[in-house]
Amino acid sequence: MIPQYASALLISDLHLTPSMPLTAQRFFDFCEKDAPKVEAVFILGDLFEYWVGDDAALHSPFQQEVKHALATLSTKVKTYYLHGNRDFLVGKHFLSKTGMTLLTDPSKINVAGSEYVLCHGDSLCTADIGYQAFRGWVRKPWIQKLFLRLPLNWRRSIANQLRSNSGVQYQRAMNSAVDGAQAKTDVTLAACAAVLRDQAGNQLIHGHTHLPKHHEEHLIDQTWQRWVLSDWDLDHPESGRPRASALLINQNGVHYTDLIKA
């Protein structure tokens, strides 16, 4: 039975970290003021900048504050979580403490009578062959078990190195592309078509690419709509316009909600 609700808010790619206090505060405000206005909230991955194990959260006042905000939110509305590429190690302990329900990637939901397929989005970036190979390895349960047995400081060091490499590679890809939307870091039509065909759907919602937009797309005999969620960043004005939005779905349809002006 797929989740069914009359209204929902969807967010992703907040990359919460103590070094981004304005973004974090907007998330806390979102949990307290915006989210309780709907029946369900879906967090489609990369809520955290990185996650090296549930045990690490026990030593982080910041992650404890996020946990408290989520736990409070979960007492008001049904809250779902879907792993991203930065926080796929969020585990059962953290989820149980927050009251969130974990969704598989992809998952189908029903909101206001319409069905939508949800995923984080990194699995759709099939033009990036190197990343897909890396993703395949780090998602293996035995690799994750080995990683989680490493000392905490080792895990943090590995995560910081991977973050640094990812940022450099992403910037190079965007700079070398004729059109940024066609960079290998974006999703491919073939991957979108495949996941929708597998899920028997024609409406797709994802994050990951940081390219928020509503698309109407087709490939051969398939047509579909695709909504890309925004990343959040209120702490780096030099990088461009501050970003924080959610996707609202209710009886009036699907709409982007600007959380900066809200």
pLDDT digits (tens, 9 = 90+) for 155-205: 999 988 887 766 545 444 444 444 544 567 899 999 999 999 999 999 999
Host domain of residue 44: 4-128+185-258
β-pairing, 4-5 vs 107-111, is parallel
Please report whether residue 93 resides in a domain: yes
Tokens of 102: 């974990």
The list of the chain residues with pLDDT below 70 reads 165-183, 238-239, 262
Please report whether residue 179 resides in a domain: no
The identity of residue 222, as a single letter, is Q
Please report whether residue 34 resides in a domain: yes
The distance from CA 147 to its chain's CA centroid, rounded to whole angstroms, is 22
pLDDT of residue 167: 52
Predicted TM-score (pTM) of the model is: 0.91
β-pairing, 253-258 vs 245-250, is antiparallel
Angstrom distances, CA of residue 203 to CA of 77, 93, 179: 24, 32, 25
pLDDT of residue 236: 84
The C-alpha atoms of residue 66 and residue 47 are separated, in whole angstroms, by: 10
Please report whether residue 159 resides in a domain: no
CATH of the domain at 253: 3.60.21.50
Number of domains in the chain: 1
Please check whether residue 87 is in contact with residue 46, taking contact to mean a CB–CB distance below 8 angstroms: yes
Side-chain-side CA neighbours of residue 59 (13 Å): 8
The C-alpha atoms of residue 11 and residue 228 are separated, in whole angstroms, by: 10
**Cα three-residue angle 100-74-93, rounded to 5 degrees:** 35
Q: How many CB atoms lie within 10 A of CB 219?
A: 15
Please report whether residue 212 resides in a domain: yes
The C-alpha atoms of residue 10 and residue 246 are separated, in whole angstroms, by: 6
Q: Is the peptide bond before 106 cis (omega within 30 degrees of 0)?
A: yes
Please report whether residue 22 resides in a domain: yes
Q: How many CB atoms lie within 10 A of CB 43?
A: 26
Please check whether residue 244 is in contact with residue 26, taking contact to mean a CB–CB distance below 8 angstroms: yes
**Cα three-residue angle 86-189-119, rounded to 5 degrees:** 35
Please check whether residue 111 is in contact with residue 104, taking contact to mean a CB–CB distance below 8 angstroms: no
Please report whether residue 70 resides in a domain: yes
Please report whether residue 111 resides in a domain: yes
